[in-house]
Structure 1
Amino acid sequence: MLCPFMTIQHSFLPLVLLAFLTTACSRSTLPLSQTSRSLTKHGYGHNHDHDLRNTPITRTGSTLFLGTAQWYAVGPNVYWLGLDENVIPTPSSAPFYAPFNASYPSKGRVTEIMATVQALGGTMVRAHTLGVSTGNPLSIWPALGEVNEEAFESVDWAVAQARAYGIRLLVPLTDNYDYYHGGKYNFLRWAGFNLTQTANSSSPLVQQFYTNKTIIASFKEYIHTLLTHVNRYTNLTYAEDPTIFAYESGNELGGPVFGDMDVSVDWVREIGSYVKQLAPEKLFVDGTYGVNKTHFVVGEVDLFSDHFYPINVTKLEDDLDLVASADKAYFAGEFDWVGSTDGGTTSDGDSLAEWFSIIEKSPVTAGDAFWSLFGHDVPNCNVSPVDPNQSVVIIVIRGRENVQTDRQTD
């Protein structure tokens, strides 16, 4: 069956490329051997003497490198690659947890995403559920210390497909919120703190996640489970595979007051040190929601990050000035563009084009990731079309991807 269009939501994809990306759902999952052959001529294939996929991303000061070439982390957020909440799977016998609408994404959907990112010039994907997977029956850790090997299947496939297409991954390790894929509230509840985000997000007890030794030990045990897992498709542990170029301490981490950036320096140091111990070649991202300058003393942090809802030029400039003083790299981990008008300007007058221009000119910026990208509902090929009113904004974002690709090939 031929799918008429790509399914795109919050994407950098210009409308004129939709026809180019028409694809047969039944053939959207390519064998690893086939994708590897197609990539050999680009320096990514298994037969190349210097397989860039086996080369880790490194940092010197504010600059990231792939080998000796400067590298930028540019692409989408795709949060559902390891565990989804958007599709009721077929057949009906497929794993499904109705309370969270949770299921494992089909291989075709995952492959299609990687092919799309590669075709559009992206270099990376920020992927929450390749790392955040706790607290429901389909999670990697359904309960404290309980490993669900079946849950690794979809994560393994996503990592392997990213590798096959030459796409790198940035993976958060937990979440500030109580979403379907899990987060810090799971660890709090497992330690006996009966807290939920809905009822208790402003409770001082949420800080136990960063200070309670038992909870920290449990979180590190989970990280160990994740990073030492051997991928069934690549025969590499997640710690070994350079496809995952960075682990992030968490998604939008903070304390009892939204935006307070109240994350313990000692906690950031301990988690960063543990990740580096297990995976010395990985970069480590401070997942605090905002740039907390008290964390500049943590040597294990390679990148500081912030999210933009909506885009905010002043906030971006302030972030960049702070990170420049620390000689670290900056990554805009999420940004919203659908709140912009046709000309790419927010209601506060901030221009998306200006926001991108600041990022492109800053020597501190290592990359950015928009929110977010979807593909087809394989095998049903259901369509969620782009809002034509956003066409100008899409073209601006597409131009951003081209600029960054050109910068790292100069």
Structure 2
Amino acid sequence: MNKEKVCPEGKVVNPLTGRCINIKALEKKMKKIEKAANAAADAPAAKAQDDTSPIIVQPENNKKLIDNLRILADYERINKEPFKVKAYEKVIGSIELLDKNIETLEDIKLLKGVGKKIEDKIIEFLNTGNISEVVGVLNDPKYILGNKLKGIYGVGPAKITELMTKIENFEELKEHPELLNDKQKIGLKYYDDMNLRIPMAEGKQHLKVVGKILNNLYSDNDGIEFEFVGSFRRKNKDMGDIDILIKNRKGLVLKDIIKQLEDKSYIIEKLAQGNNKFMGICRLSPELPARRIDILIADPSYYYFALLYFTGSYNFNIYMRKIALTKGLSLSEYGFKPATGANTATGVATNKNIIDTSDTINSEEDIFKYLGMTYVEPHRR
């Protein structure tokens, strides 16, 4: 068990690093972030009350740099160079936390864990807009195969390394399915479908199908509360999969929901199922692509925290956790806990020692109020 870190007076544990950080310094940084984010909002949107809150957007230049570094990290993973992979991932993580574009050598110094070789690549990117090594990697047959294998559900880095010693191309894997476990075979079977984005219009049809079944199953006075989360709730133009969060209630049984969805030929494959979580494959009709679906049941005590967390985006969740820190709190999908009691191994609150907020938080909006914030609509996260 990890020993909880206790910070000196005037400091709290940073949930992103596990280190003590000055509260006043963090408050100053958050004001700067909020000011910059407000300035990024478009003029028409600023007229509406709900749209005065910030849009949390990764600086465009940084996004491109991260994409380049991820390609190099993936290549080193294929080459069985774990230390190089770790070095790239550390730098990528540091860039993701920046609220400004990296444009100068001084900006590079803000990043943690940048060695000479990676620094040279970042400098090349700043000077040319690209990293020359990436061009070569993208044309390397070994990288092309590894990247293709990464798109199979359930195939991780270790399995990719193993497969690349046994096959020379992707078509060869289709001829030797015995190289995969049952879940990976399902991933291979629906490979093309599962690597297609889901248009918002199709996402809305999934909502109709699932919503009708849920409302029919739990049509008593208590009803049922659920949301399609992730990119769908943020109103993005498309999404990678179907993510559903359901608030637990008396009489709710996940396996009953899954059976109904199977009986309607909506769920066509099971990948994993427990009492509170289901992972599988669904589709609207045999003529349409198969899609990944996750269904999660959340206890009422933390449902709205889970709703906030699983709606995202990743950068917005970081933003919210930083705001919570200025209040001496650590925030996770389970709720609030004192920042000094955050798990320093994971950097966020766990479901232990959670503060009881049942009397004050009965909606997602209440979480924002608790932090003294204006509610941010999902489409601006």
TM-score range, shorter chain: under 0.3
Larger radius of gyration: 2
Structure with bigger helix share is: 2
Q: Please, what TM-score do these two structures have when normalized by structure 1?
A: 0.23
